[in-house]
Amino acid sequence: MIPIAFKKVWIENKIANHYKTKHILSKLGDIDIDYFDDLNTLIHNTPTVFHPKDRSKTLVLSAIRGEILRKCPGTHGHLCCNYHIINQYIGCPIGCSYCILQGYLNQPFTIINVDIESIFEELENFQRNYPGKQIRIGTGELGDSLVYDHLTNFSEDFLEFFAGRNEFIFEFKTKTTNIDLLLKHRSPGNIVVGFSVNPDIVRINEEEFSATLKERIDAATALVNAGYKIALHFDPIVSIANAEQEYKQTINFIFSQLKPEDIAWISLGTFRYTNDLKSMMEYNYPKSSLLSREFVLCSDNKFRYFRPERTNLYKMVIGFLHDINEDLPIYLCMESPEVWMDTLEILPGNCSGCPQEETMDLLFKRRVTLKKGTQN
Partner 1 sequence: MKINIVPLEENHKLLNCPGNVQNNEMFSSILNGLSFGFKKDNRQIILLLRNESSEVMEVLPEGNETVNVFTAVNFLLSNFVNKNKIDIKTAFQIIDTLFNIESDVPVQKTIYPLFSLLGWLPSKKGEDAYKAFPNFSDKLQAMLQNKKVALNDAFLFHLHMTDFSYNEILDLLPENLSFSEANLSLKMVTEIAQNTKSNSIQKDTSLISEIAKKLSSAKDKADFMNTLKKLRYPKVSLLKERFSDYINAFKFPGGVSVTTDELFEKNTVNMTISFTDKNNLEKKLAQISEQLKKQNDSTDYFCIENLLEEK
Q: Which stretch binds partner 1 (CB under 8 A): 149-157, 175-183, 211-219, 276-284?
A: 276-284
User: According to the 3-state scheme, what is the secondary structure of 100-164?
Assistant: CHHHHCCCCCEEEECCHHHHHHHHHHHHHHCCCCCEEEECCCCCCCCCCHHHHCHHHHHHHHHCC
**Is the bond leading into 52 cis (omega within 30 degrees of zero)?**
no
For ligand SF4 (CB under 6 A), the number of binding residues is 9
Q: Name the residue among 40, 164, 169 with its Cα closest to residue 108.
A: 40
Cα dihedral value 13, 19, 22, 28, nearest 10: -110
Q: Which stretch binds partner 1 (CB under 8 A): 225-233, 288-296, 313-321, 346-354?
A: 288-296
For position 138 contacting ligand SF4 by CB under 6 A, the verdict is no
Contact 344, 79 (CB under 8 A): no
Give the residue, chosen from 57, 65, 186, 307, that forms a contact with partner 1 under the rule CB under 8 A. Answer: 307
For partner 1 (CB under 8 A), the number of binding residues is 28
- Residue 4 binds which entry of partner 1, ligand SF4, none, CB below 5-8 Å type-dependent: none
Query: Considering beta carbons, is residue 105 or 298 the nearer one to partner 1?
Result: 298
Site for ligand SF4 in 143-162 (CB under 6 A): 143-144
For position 327 contacting partner 1 by CB under 8 A, the verdict is no
Site for ligand SF4 in 89-108 (CB under 6 A): 92, 94-96, 99, 101
For position 298 contacting partner 1 by CB under 8 A, the verdict is yes
Beta strands in the chain (DSSP E): 8-12, 32-36, 58-62, 69-71, 83-86, 89-90, 110-113, 135-138, 168-174, 191-196, 229-237, 263-270, 272-273, 295-297, 303-305, 330-332
- Residue 298 binds which entry of partner 1, ligand SF4, none, CB below 5-8 Å type-dependent: partner 1
Give the residue, chosen from 15, 43, 49, 344, that forms a contact with partner 1 under the rule CB under 8 A. Answer: 49
For position 292 contacting partner 1 by CB under 8 A, the verdict is yes
Give the residue, chosen from 306, 351, 354, 366, that forms a contact with partner 1 under the rule CB under 8 A. Answer: 306
Instruction: Using DSSP, state whether 213 is helix, strand or coil.
Output: helix
Q: How far is the CB of 236 from partner 1 (least distance, A)?
A: 16
Site for ligand SF4 in 166-225 (CB under 6 A): 175
For position 304 contacting ligand SF4 by CB under 6 A, the verdict is no
Largest Cα–Cα distance in the chain? 59
Residue 67 vs residues 61, 70, 86, 118: alpha-carbon distances, Å: 18, 6, 9, 11
Contacts with partner 1 by CB under 8 A lie at 47-51, 54, 241, 279, 282-283, 286, 289, 291-294, 296-299, 306-309, 311, 336, 338, 342
